[in-house]
């Protein structure tokens, strides 16, 4: 539970930030296609407010989670044996990038461009947009973080749902589902090539043969 209280805000915050980023791109794209006057309409204002609130909440949660996870790795004896320099660097990178981005956005001078204006400027190649130094540093460090994450195990927060949670949550009984029955029948004809001894892939048995054979007793089903 102590880990969950730190891990959940971190991951959920990243999901909110990603959602806000996609929302900004969509709103900015619509603004470019429909004209900037669209942003002054109630729908445009509401959409911009929702995206801003989502992104702000996500940034706070992710920053808190990164710092909390870093603190736990530094103070929890049970985790020290599993903590590598890469783990520490990754969390420090997240905390530094998100902290700089948040600080730059909050402290930007009056009249400075907001998130939506910056994205619209990027999409339109508008060189007249002037971004304050601290905010620019936050944007660049966050962009570097986005490019860095896919190269590390930290990218698990992107695919873990599809490779773990969706599998566990979709663990339904076969019942009378002809579609699932047909799919399982096909899967059982596949031939694994794993080297693990308990699979006994030598001779290329099918999965159907593997799952009906006792791995501790040759040939016994």
**Does 1.20.950.20 match the CATH number of domain 4-164?**
yes
Indicate the length of the chain as a whole number: 221
Res 37: pLDDT: 61
**Mean predicted confidence (pLDDT) in 101-112:** 87
CA distance linking residue 39 with residue 80, whole number of Å = 50
CA distance linking residue 133 with residue 46, whole number of Å = 29
Res 60: pLDDT: 93
Cα 164 to chain center, whole Å?
14
Give residue limits of the domains in the chain.
4-164, 176-211
CA distance linking residue 200 with residue 109, whole number of Å = 67
Contact yes or no for 107/134 (Cβ under 8 A): yes
Residue 205: other Cβ atoms inside 10 A: 16
User: At 188, is the secondary structure helix, strand, or coil?
Assistant: coil
Q: Which residues contact 141 (CB under 8 A, 6 or more apart)?
A: 96, 97, 100, 101
Cα 39 to chain center, whole Å?
29
Radius of gyration of the chain from Cα atoms?
Answer: 25
62 to 5, 22, 52, 169: CA distances (angstroms) = 12, 17, 15, 25
The per-residue pLDDT for range 179-204, each reduced to its tens digit, is: 888 888 898 999 887 767 766 666 67
Res 202: pLDDT: 64
User: At 84, is the secondary structure helix, strand, or coil?
Assistant: coil
The per-residue pLDDT for range 27-59, each reduced to its tens digit, is: 766 666 566 565 667 776 787 788 888 888 989
């Amino acid at each position: 539970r102590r880990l969950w209280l730190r891990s959940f805000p971190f991951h959920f915050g990243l999901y909110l930030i990603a959602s806000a980023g996609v929302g900004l791109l969509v709103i900015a794209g619509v603004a470019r296609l429909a004209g900037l006057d669209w942003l002054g309409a109630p729908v445009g204002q509401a959409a911009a407010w929702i995206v801003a609130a989502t992104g702000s909440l996500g940034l706070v949660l992710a920053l808190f989670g990164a710092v909390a996870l870093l603190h736990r790795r530094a103070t929890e004896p049970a985790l020290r044996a599993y903590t590598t320099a890469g783990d520490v660097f990754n969390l420090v990178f997240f905390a530094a990038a998100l902290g700089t981005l948040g600080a730059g956005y909050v402290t930007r001078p009056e009249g400075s461009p907001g998130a939506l204006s910056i994205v619209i400027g990027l999409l339109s190649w508008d060189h007249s947009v002037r971004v304050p130094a601290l905010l620019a540093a936050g944007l660049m460090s966050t962009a570097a973080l986005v490019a860095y994450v896919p190269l590390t195990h930290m990218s698990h927060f992107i695919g873990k749902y599809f490779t773990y949670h969706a599998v566990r949550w979709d663990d339904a009984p076969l019942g009378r589902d002809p579609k699932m029955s047909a799919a399982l029948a096909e899967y059982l004809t596949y031939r694994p090539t794993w080297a693990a001894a308990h699979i006994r892939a030598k001779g290329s048995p099918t999965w159907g043969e593997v799952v009906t054979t006792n791995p501790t007793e040759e040939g016994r089903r």
